[in-house]
Structure 1
Amino acid sequence: MAPAAAKATALPEQTIDSNGRLIVPFAGSVEAAGMTIPDLESTIVGRLKSKANEPQVLVRVIRNTTADVTVVGDVGSSMRVPLTPKGERLLDALAAAGGVRQPVNKVMVQITRGTQVFSMPLDAVIRDPRQNIALQAGDVVTALYQPVSFMAFGATGKNEEIGFEGQGISLAQALARSGGLLDSRADARGVFVFRLEDAASVPQTRDEALPVTADGRVPVVYRIDMKDPASMFVAQQFPMRDKDMLYVSNAPVADIQKLANLFYTVVFPAVSVGTQFR
């Protein structure tokens, strides 16, 4: 125990330099790199024994200026967030940067760690705590306002680009949002989803090479026969992806009807004109 007359001296914050050394008043330059807190305390005590009576030293880490993450993108304020011993997670960093400026269901979060890049919808991170990963020094967190959508064509109630939430929707939901299949036109056996898949996920079933786009993706067409009741369950499980194209083909009778309508619009006026000259 220190004598009753002993005084405690609080030193100002000290920074470990790029060489891993710490300058401590009265103790001089101390090698701190690779040391634990107790080891560093013991080293400083040893340096002070010849200068103080029964010295006692308490070392604590106020902040680690070399361990931080960078948060950029569609956030309140782009900034560098220091990592503390408690271990900040993804949502902690976004909160420190002022949160996102767009609805959470339209924001994708991208984490760049070295040469690896990971991305996920923000609302998926909020709903699943396992996705709220611990950050590491040097990570770059980017909040991207990236609304996802699919395009509906053919015999559906709406032929347009339709947005959906970041957590995704099923094919059944996509059909409902596009107005469903038109009874007077649609061929329920001809529901197609056009998608560009990663080449690695497409099995090679033929001898010839698969057509691959410049970014390494393969065009794939999925067909679902909605006349089959079992396809209703398939449609509920089939996930739609960003930039998918949903196409519902016309029933053969609809094509015949189109031809008949064209025939009537051309022939009937001609016949009516002909009767006027008789």
Structure 2
Amino acid sequence: MPVLRNFFAACAALLLIASCSLPRGAALQSEVLNESSAENPSFQVVSVTRANMPAIASWPRTGWENEHEWPGTSSGPSSNVISTGDQVDIVIWDSQENSLLTSEAEKSTLMSGVEVGPDGAIFVPYVNKVYIRGLTPAAARTRVQEQLIQIAPSAQVQLKLTQGRTNSVELVGGVAAPGAYQMPSRNYKVLSLIADGGGIQPSLRNPRVRLIRGGATYEISASQLLESGARNTLLRPGDTVIVEQDDHSFTALGASGKEDLIYFPKDDLAAMEAISLMGGLTDFRADPKGVLVLREYRVKHLRSDGSAPRMQQVVFSFDLTSADGLFAAKKFLINPGDTVLATESPITSTQTVFGLVGTVFGLTRQASTLSNL
């Protein structure tokens, strides 16, 4: 009979469902953490609560490449200091008759574009070398005049400084006018350089400022640089300042509104904010008790006393069904390179099976009804 054949077909379908796993868009929490109960697990599981958040917050932050602390501000001399490669224009006035430095028709002589040598000295006729490196223009004028006293007691000196390439700094990218900038004084600071370059382009995502000085690289977000004058560091000749957008990101996976590489909109991004950027947890799919953050630490970060992770790979677990878990997620910081996984609720598979069963038996009842007509 057709009804009987439909019934057996429905039973076969149920057996097939029971023998095969249903397709899912995300893993279950138990599947991910299954290995943690093994005798020798390869990763560490940490259930994040308000009680252990202070300890976790003290663990090393991962994903930030530059380990040098941003240099603080300091004060330099208010005037320029002469360096090797600078040039000076010297005007010598001497009213004395038969002067070695001037003629009867001209009571002044100009020495233009005299370069400060590698030894820090300039050459002045009849005096030889005068060492002026490290002096301000005013102090250098006085020193040149003092050296001239022995041949021209009444001589007066004027001195003008033109800074060389060694007294410049480079501004690269992320501003309206990048390029090399002469330092107007030794009190030239990072924010002044950025302002001279036209300011940071507003289109940059969470712009960051990088300072390359010698063999060290320092980095800070523009927002942190702007919020405190203590971070407006004093520039040195030869510094390079780079302005660029933030490319740090985390990976969003699982039963969330968005599965993608998500860039940091700011430096300190809490787990709750990360979930929001992911589009939240998917209704009827996600397990709010199984939000996981996967992170890798360096070997040098490992400790066995609880002050740091004891294993390189760590899975942080959050229960967002409790106030304790919600508050912990508001404090827990996501690091660049983390993976935030919204696991799937085990109830979802059960509901799917019941739905299929209901559909099958509904078809069976319909077939029985039709056969009785």
| Aligned residue in 2 for 1:235 | 329
8 A contact 2:205–2:246 mirrored in 1 = no
* TM-score normalised according to structure 2 size: 0.58
What is the distance in 2 between the residues matched to 1:123 and 1:105? 11
Per-residue deviation, 1:22: 1.0
What is the distance in 2 between the residues matched to 1:274 and 1:29? 113
What is the distance in 2 between the residues matched to 1:68 and 1:269? 82
Q: 1:190 aligns with which of 274, 290, 303?
A: 290
1:167 aligns with 2:261: no
User: CA deviation digits over 1:216-272, x for unaligned, max 9?
Assistant: xx433211222231222222222223343211212221232234446667x569969
How many pairs are equivalent? Answer: 267
In structure 2, the CA distance between the partners of 1:165 and 1:251, relative to structure 1 (3 Å rule), is same
What is the distance in 1 between the residues matched to 2:332 and 2:289? 16
CA RMSD for the aligned pairs?
3.7
1:1-278 alignment, distance < 5 Å? 12-24=112-124, 27-33=127-133, 40-57=140-157, 59=159, 61-63=161-163, 65-101=165-201, 103-204=203-304, 218-261=312-355
In structure 2, the CA distance between the partners of 1:23 and 1:223, relative to structure 1 (3 Å rule), is same
8 A contact 2:145–2:157 mirrored in 1 = yes
Structure 1: gaps of 5 or more residues = 212-217
Q: Which amino acid aligns with 1:187?
A: D
Q: Which amino acid aligns with 2:207?
A: V
Structure 2: gaps of 5 or more residues = 1-94, 97-106
User: CA deviation digits over 1:128-179, x for unaligned, max 9?
Assistant: 3333222222222222233443332222233333344133422112222323
| Aligned residue in 2 for 1:215 | none
Of stretches 186-195 and 77-86 in structure 1, the one that deviates more from structure 2 is 77-86
* TM-score normalised according to structure 1 size: 0.75
8 A contact 2:246–2:264 mirrored in 1 = no
Per-residue deviation, 1:61: 4.3
8 A contact 1:189–1:225 mirrored in 2 = yes
In structure 2, the CA distance between the partners of 1:189 and 1:203, relative to structure 1 (3 Å rule), is farther
In structure 2, the CA distance between the partners of 1:268 and 1:81, relative to structure 1 (3 Å rule), is farther
Identity of aligned pairs, percent?
Answer: 24
What is the distance in 2 between the residues matched to 1:164 and 1:195? 16
Q: If you compute each CA radius of gyration, which structure gives the higher value, 1 or 2? A: 2
8 A contact 1:184–1:254 mirrored in 2 = yes
What is the distance in 1 between the residues matched to 2:269 and 2:169? 32
